[in-house]
Structure 1
């Protein structure tokens, strides 16, 4: 049996659970003992992003560490639930194992699918049945509020599309984008206040996520890529400004020229790598 400080001979997951229980128990860590689900939730989200970052950087050592940090979040939440006599880590593991078996009847049962599209349709039907069994009235009920706004907008559009509430092809959302841009221009011409402008820009962003969905482009991934590209090019502009100005200010036209240099250099690099 594992000791209170985690017996190194115990299975690693048992040792981790024992350590977490000790941190939360009498004489444990004051910080850990003060936490609850709401205070730990932001760390859980942050750790998931750090896992994603390690993957994008191809850092396998970092990924191992970040997955450990994410696993700690699961153990932390499960420990707090256990203290409240709601559920424990074993219940969490058993629940996801049961769900995987239930949702893969072609692997663990006798079902078969003619295509991945047929499998996806059945998967979604099973999820809808589970939502109905939980008493949820809308297909949108379990779309998490904490998702990044672009990701949540995509999920909302996708859920609505399953009932036929969607454009048949990408031209619909593309026309909607043009409509929303016109409405922003009208709001600006009318001197509209912040609240209206915020609403119109929100409508435009939502329309863009619908276009991305129709084109099978992940909006969140696309924007991350654009952010990285902007950062890369702007750093180049900063470097050129330092080299050419000697610390003096430069005009917007000069900075635009350096920006074009950065784009041209990226294009040349892409051509060399092809």
Structure 2
């Protein structure tokens, strides 16, 4: 069976200036980031679909991205795979004092019940991360929230970071009321745009729609749901129902493209009704 050393050797050969792969030799940190994001989503997709038979394969593809970055870092004398491993082990030992009380990976474990208290563990984790941000010179509570995150995920992470700092909604009722307020503001902006079409009013509609989406994420966070996963599940539900509508229309001798809107509406309702049953 191949090892991590084999994978590192493979990567080095792919990047060999004289005998390596032309495509791999053209890549740099920036050009492979899109592939990294794609591979991470494919891992998540395999898990969400319950396709555990292919999960190891998808994890391998994601691991290859780490090896690729490590090779690029080694070539530029920035870092190596070993330093990547050392950094993550050091950080995780530091962030888990309830498991490694002496800061030693191979030290004695803590077994007292207080150390296993979930709320205390979360508070400790956030406190340690806050200290790490300060050590890096990040003074803002929302510092280092990655700009490249999907918009829903980043919105939730920004909100969570601010909430951890002590500024959050008191209860769910306030969140829902604010959601209604944002919806009404969007409705007003749409009415203004209809009555007075202008670039300024169109921009207002755009802004209010964004505020509504941001507040929807806030609602998901307050309910302890992951907004990105909520929308992904809704996407899958929509896909499933559309496929059901297509099958229904085909059974009737038609197709989605040729059917009238009323026929699609009826098929949609029948598909929904079958899901409830």
Structure 1-normalised TM-score? 0.89
Q: Secondary structure at the match of 1:113?
A: helix
CA offset digits 1:176-209 (Å, max 9, x no partner): 1111111111111111544322211110010011
2:171 is matched with: 169
5+ long unaligned stretches in structure 1: 1-7, 269-274
Alignment partner of 2:11 out of 16, 20, 43: 20
Of 35-44 and 160-169, deviating more is 160-169
Query: Are residue 109 (structure 1) and residue 101 (structure 2) matched?
Result: yes
2:276 is matched with: 267
CA offset digits 1:124-148 (Å, max 9, x no partner): 0000000000001112111111111
1:234 is matched with: 242
Aligned mates of 1:262, 1:83 — CA distance in 2: 56
Query: Are residue 190 (structure 1) and residue 192 (structure 2) matched?
Result: yes
How far off is 1:114 after superposition?
Answer: 5.8
Would you identify which runs of 4 or more consecutive aligned residues in structure 1 move more than 4 Å? Answer: none
Aligned mates of 1:242, 1:54 — CA distance in 2: 30
Alignment partner of 2:23 out of 31, 38, 41: 31
Q: Tell me the number of residue pairs that the alignment of Structure 1 and Structure 2 aligns.
A: 259
How far off is 1:155 after superposition?
Answer: 0.4
Aligned mates of 1:209, 1:17 — CA distance in 2: 40
1:222 is matched with: 230
Aligned mates of 1:181, 1:57 — CA distance in 2: 33
CA offset digits 1:78-130 (Å, max 9, x no partner): 11011111110000001111111111111111664362011101100000000
Q: Secondary structure at the match of 1:190?
A: helix
CA offset digits 1:249-270 (Å, max 9, x no partner): 43323222211111111111xx
5+ long unaligned stretches in structure 2: 103-109
**Contact 2:98–2:116 at 8 Å: present in 1 too?**
no
How far off is 1:34 after superposition?
Answer: 0.8
Aligned mates of 1:186, 1:104 — CA distance in 2: 50
2:161 is matched with: 159
**Contact 2:245–2:264 at 8 Å: present in 1 too?**
yes
Q: Secondary structure at the match of 1:105?
A: coil
